Structure 1
Amino acid sequence: MKHKDIIIGIIIGLIASAIGLTLSLLFFGTGESIKDSLRIALAQGVFTKLVSIGALLNLGAFFLFINTNKESKAKGVLIATIIVALITIIIRYT
């Protein structure tokens, strides 16, 4: 049961990061669509910054799980945040 909760937390964390990235592209993007904003962000080198802003939704999910005593799911969200951070570092320096 504990491993299942951690996996659920990872999935929720990754989905929250994806939603956050989409929202950051909508708010801060300069293109006419999300696809255009993504292309422009990649060309200008600000994509990793938008990913980092998008990962802020994980903070809300993490504290929600902590406050409802679902520590295993909170661990999963933390793992997802670390995964997103590692991917961001890889993208940034390659």
Structure 2
Amino acid sequence: MKNKELIIGIVIGLITSAVGLLLTLLFFGKGNSLNDSLQIALNRGVFTKLVSMGAMLNLAAFFLFLKKNQDTRAQGVLIATVIVAIITLIIRFI
């Protein structure tokens, strides 16, 4: 049961990061569409910064789970945030 809750937290954390990235591209993107904004961010080398800003939406999910006393799901969101950070570092330095 605990593993299921942890996996749910990881999935929610990854989805929240993706939604945060899309919202960041919508607000801070310079293109006419999401695809244009993504290409511009990649060309200018600011994609990793946008991913990091998008991952900040995980804070809301993390504290929501803590408030509801769902510590295992909150732990999953934290693991997802670390996964996003590692992927961001890999993209940044490759």
TM-score under structure 2 normalisation? 0.99
Task: State the AA in 1 paired with 2:81.
Answer: T
**Identity of matched residues, %:** 67
> Matched residue of 2:85: which SS?
helix
Which residue is equivalent to 1:42?
Answer: 42
> Matched residue of 1:12: which SS?
helix
Residue 48 of structure 1, CA deviation: 0.3
Give the alignment's Cα RMSD to 1 decimal. Answer: 0.3
- Map 1:1-94 → 2, pairs under 5 A: 1-94=1-94
Per-residue displacement from partner, 1:44-76 (whole Å, max 9, x unpaired)?
000000000000110000000001100000000
Unmatched 5+ residue regions in structure 2? none
TM-score under structure 1 normalisation? 0.99
- Equivalent-residue separation in structure 1 for 2:62 and 2:88 (angstroms): 20
Unmatched 5+ residue regions in structure 1? none
Moved over 2 A (4+): none
